[in-house]
C-alpha cells in the first residue's frame, strides 16, 4: 500500500497484481486495493507454486515455504504482465532487511536476478539503499523521492501510513499456509501419495481431519456443516462419499482406488465420528452414480487416531 502511495506521489499510474493459490488468501490484497481505489489483477499462481514445491532452487524456509523462489516467480509473472501491456516497471513493497532470510540484500538481489526483471524492478520503500533500477537511471522515476526504509522495525512504515492517511492496513502477520508446520505435514503426505497436481486435493488440505489408511487410501472427515457441504460439493466421480443417514455426523470422502478394507475402515471412522458411537450407524455410500445404504459398527476414536496425518 505504501509503495503504491509513494509512486502515485510522483505521478505514476499504478495497478496492483496479486497471486492466487490454495496457500494464499486474497482477502488482504483485495481489502487494501479497495482502500487505495487500486485496480487489482489476480493471477493464478497454483501451477508455479506447486512446481516450486517439487523443486525449490533455493530450498525451503522453516516449513515448506520456498520464499525466495516464490518472490522471484511472482515478480517474473508481474514482469510478463508489465511487458505484455507495455507498462514501464514492476514495483514491490519489499523493505530491505524486514525479514532476515527472504529480504536481506543477498535475497533481494537473488530474487531480482531470478525473476528475469532485474532491469525493471523497483522497490520504492528501500530504493535509495539499493542499486538504481533502469527507470530510476533513465529518470522515469525520481529516485530522490523514493525511500530508504530498512530493518524489522515498522516505525517508518507506520509514520508513512499516517502521512498518507491510511488507517486500514494489514497487520504484520507471518507468511502463507506454507509457513505453517502442521499444514505442511498434510501437504507432505499428499505429495508422497497422490502428488500435488490436483488443485482440488490442495484446497482440501484446509478442510476436515485427514487420515491415511493402512492400505494407502486418504480419508477426509468433515468437522462441521460447512466443511461437510464443501466436501460433498467437491466429490469426484471416482471417489466415495460416506455419511450417516439418521444420525448427525460427518461427511467423509475416501480417495479413488481405495481397497475394500480401507473403505471399511473409513466407514468405521465415519460412524465413529457421528453422534452415535455406541451402536451400528446407518451410512449412505455414494460412488459415481451408485448409491447404497448399510449399517456400520463405529470404530473408536483411539483406533482412528493411529491413522491421523496430523494428530
Ligand atoms: S510466505 Fe508463502 S507466499 Fe510469501 S513468499 Fe513465502 S511461500 Fe510465497
Query: What is the Å distance from ligand 1's center to 179 Cα?
Result: 8
189, pLDDT greater than 90: yes
Least Cα distance to 25 among 42, 38, 4 occurs for 42
Q: What's the pLDDT at 247?
A: 93
Q: What's the pLDDT at 48?
A: 98
137, pLDDT greater than 80: yes
Q: Which atom of ligand 1 is nearest to the CA of 176?
A: 2
Residue 169 banded pLDDT, cuts 50, 70, 90: confident
In the chain, % of residues over pLDDT 70: 99
Q: What's the pLDDT at 166?
A: 94
Residue of the nearest CA to atom 1 in ligand 1? 175
311, pLDDT greater than 80: no
Domains of the chain: 2-176 (3.40.50.620), 207-305 (no CATH)
Degrees to nearest 5, angle at CA 65 with 81 and 239: 90
Distance CA 114, CA 292 (A): 54
Mean pLDDT of 26-38: 95
- Exposed/middle/buried for residue 181 (C-beta within 10 Å: 0-12, 13-18, 19+): exposed
Q: What's the pLDDT at 173?
A: 67
Q: What's the pLDDT at 164?
A: 96
User: Cβ(53) to ligand 1 under 6 A?
Assistant: no
State the sign of the Cα–Cα–Cα–Cα dihedral 65, 68, 73, 75: positive
Mean pLDDT of 255-279: 95
Nearest 10 degrees: CA dihedral of 121, 105, 17, 21? 140
Q: What's the pLDDT at 174?
A: 73
Q: What's the pLDDT at 170?
A: 79
Task: Please say whether the beta carbons of 146 and 6 come within 8 A.
Answer: yes
239, pLDDT greater than 70: yes
Residue 99 banded pLDDT, cuts 50, 70, 90: confident
User: Cβ(175) to ligand 1 under 6 A?
Assistant: yes
Residue 276 banded pLDDT, cuts 50, 70, 90: confident
Q: Cα separations (Å) of 303 from 212, 220, 240, 243?
A: 13, 16, 21, 19
User: Cβ(28) to ligand 1 under 6 A?
Assistant: no
Distance CA 93, CA 29 (A): 12
Using only C-alpha atoms, the chain has a radius of gyration, in whole angstroms, of 24
Q: Which atom of ligand 1 is nearest to the CA of 21?
A: 3
Distance CA 76, CA 111 (A): 9
pLDDT in tens, 141-168: 999 999 999 998 989 999 999 999 999 8
Which residues contact residue 39 at a Cβ distance below 8 angstroms, ignoring those fewer than 6 apart? 15, 16, 33
Q: What's the pLDDT at 175?
A: 86
Q: What DSSP element (H or E) covers 258?
A: none
Mean pLDDT of 173-186: 92
Q: What's the pLDDT at 100?
A: 80
Q: What's the pLDDT at 58?
A: 95
Query: What is the Å distance from ligand 1's center to 72 Cα?
Result: 11
Q: What DSSP element (H or E) covers 310?
A: none
User: Cβ(117) to ligand 1 under 6 A?
Assistant: no
Mean pLDDT of 54-72: 95
CB atoms within 10 A of CB 146: 26
Q: What's the pLDDT at 270?
A: 97
Residue 101 banded pLDDT, cuts 50, 70, 90: confident
Least Cα distance to 89 among 127, 141, 45, 150 occurs for 141
Amino acid at each position: 500500500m505504501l509503495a503504491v502511495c509513494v509512486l502515485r506521489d510522483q505521478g505514476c499510474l499504478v495497478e496492483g497484481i496479486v497471486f492466487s493459490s490454495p496457500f494464499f488468501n486474497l482477502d488482504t490484497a483485495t481489502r487494501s486495493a479497495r482502500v487505495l481505489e487500486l485496480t487489482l489483477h489476480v493471477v493464478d499462481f497454483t501451477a508455479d507454486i506447486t512446481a516450486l514445491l517439487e523443486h525449490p532452487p533455493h530450498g525451503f524456509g522453516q516449513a515448506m515455504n520456498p520464499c525466495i523462489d516464490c518472490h522471484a516467480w511472482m515478480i517474473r509473472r508481474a514482469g510478463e504482465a508489465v511487458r505484455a501491456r507495455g507498462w514501464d516497471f514492476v514495483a514491490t513493497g519489499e523493505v530491505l532487511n524486514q525479514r532476515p532470510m527472504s529480504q536481506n540484500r543477498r535475497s533481494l538481489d537473488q530474487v531480482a536476478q531470478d525473476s528475469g526483471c532485474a532491469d525493471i524492478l523497483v522497490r520504492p520503500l528501500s530504493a535509495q539503499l539499493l542499486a538504481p533500477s533502469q527507470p530510476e537511471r533513465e529518470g522515469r522515476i525520481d529516485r530522490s523521492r523514493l525511500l530508504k526504509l530498512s530493518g524489522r522495525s515498522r516505525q517508518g512504515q507506520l509514520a508513512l501510513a499516517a502521512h498518507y492517511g491510511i488507517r486500514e492496513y494489514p497487520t504484520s502477520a507471518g507468511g502463507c499456509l506454507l509457513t505453517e508446520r502442521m499444514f505442511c505435514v498434510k501437504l507432505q503426505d499428499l505429495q508422497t501419495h497422490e502428488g500435488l497436481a490436483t488443485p482440488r486435493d490442495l484446497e482440501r488440505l484446509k478442510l476436515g481431519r485427514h487420515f491415511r489408511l493402512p492400505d494407502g487410501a486418504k480419508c477426509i472427515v468433515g468437522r462441521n456443516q460447512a466443511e461437510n457441504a464443501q466436501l460433498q460439493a467437491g466429490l469426484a466421480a471416482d471417489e466415495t462419499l460416506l455419511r450417516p443417514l439418521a444420525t448427525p455426523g460427518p461427511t467423509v470422502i475416501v480417495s479413488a482406488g481405495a481397497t475394500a478394507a480401507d473403505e471399511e475402515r473409513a466407514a468405521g471412522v465415519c460412524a465413529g465420528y457421528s453422534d452415535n458411537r455406541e451402536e451400528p450407524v446407518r451410512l449412505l455410500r455414494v460412488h459415481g452414480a451408485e448409491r447404497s445404504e448399510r449399517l456400520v459398527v463405529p470404530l473408536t476414536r483411539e483406533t482412528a487416531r493411529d491413522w491421523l496425518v496430523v494428530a
